[in-house]
Amino acid sequence: MVDILIDEAGDTITVRVAADLAPLFPDFDLALDHTVVREGEAQVRMRAWMP
């Protein structure tokens, strides 16, 4: 799962990602959900630079 959401009004970008970590733990034969989901947000801020 990957989502990229753009909010032009707020000049923000939100990114959501998910990864199945089960291949990292092959010795654990447990029926657990090894999926990790994370979300991050960035905002664009610009200023005029005058030398």
- HEC secondary structure over 1-51: CEEEEEECCCCEEEEEEEEECHHHCCCCCCCCCCEEEEEEEEECCCCCCCC
Read off φ and ψ for residue 16, nearest 5 degrees.
-120, 130
Q: Within a domain: residue 50?
A: no
Residue 45 is predicted with a pLDDT of 79
What is the domain range of residue 8?
2-43
d(CA 37, CA 16): 7
Residue 1 is predicted with a pLDDT of 64
- pLDDT tens, residue by residue, 16-25: 999 988 787 7
- pLDDT tens, residue by residue, 26-49: 776 666 677 889 999 998 777 887
Residue 18 is predicted with a pLDDT of 92
Average pLDDT estimate for 4-26: 88
If one counts the domains in the chain, the total is 1
Q: Within a domain: residue 11?
A: yes
Amino acid identity of 18? A
Q: Within a domain: residue 49?
A: no
pTM over 0.85: no
